[in-house]
Amino acid sequence: MSGEGRTINSLRDSLAGAVAEVLRTMAGLAVEERACPIQDRPVSDFTGAMMIIGRRTAMVAIGLTREAATVTVSQMTGLAPEELSEADLADGVAELVNIVAGSGKSGLVGTEEHYRITLPFVMVGQNRYILYKNKAVDRCLRFFTGDVELILEIAYLEG
């Protein structure tokens, strides 16, 4: 396998492991991982995203429905679901993607892969999806537990 192939798989695997670990430790949620169906365009109400910059550059996005965001952020913060405002949910999703990206980056310490991460941002809106112009998402994984579904998308940029 080429060095570039190892980079893609290592980063993807590290981020996927980070999602499962962060949800388990921060929100008490044990998740099952599945690949996204081909040609599926996952929709969400809250999408937290950030860039990971290193040997390759990628945008990492985590999408959740309002219900999934409410359960996850409630579990992460200890606040009752009815106490969470839309701003609280957006802030919680930003924190979630930040922790996942940081943990994924840390999981590669001691390897040839070194990454920096940007500040997270969140897109809010009902049934929104990300359209990647001229390039499909390279990696899309779904994480399930009970009523919670989280979508992890990794889109690699050329160059």
pLDDT of residue 39: 67
Separation between Cα atoms, residue 6 and residue 9, nearest integer Å: 5
Segments making up each domain of the chain, as ranges: 11-156
Point out the residues of the chain with pLDDT beneath 50.
1-8, 159
Provide the CATH number for the domain formed by 11-156 in this structure.
Answer: 3.40.1550.10
- Give the distance from CA 128 to its chain's centroid: 15
**pLDDT of amino acid 9:** 62
pLDDT at position 159, please? 46
Please give the model's pTM, rounded to 2 decimal places: 0.87
Crossing angle of helices 66-77 and 3-27, in 10° steps, is 70
pLDDT computed for residue 145 by the predictor: 86
3-class SS at 76? helix
Which residues face 42 on adjacent strands?
none
How does pLDDT run across 3-33, given as a tens digit for each residue?
444 444 688 889 999 999 999 998 888 888 8
Q: What is the pLDDT of residue 110?
A: 82
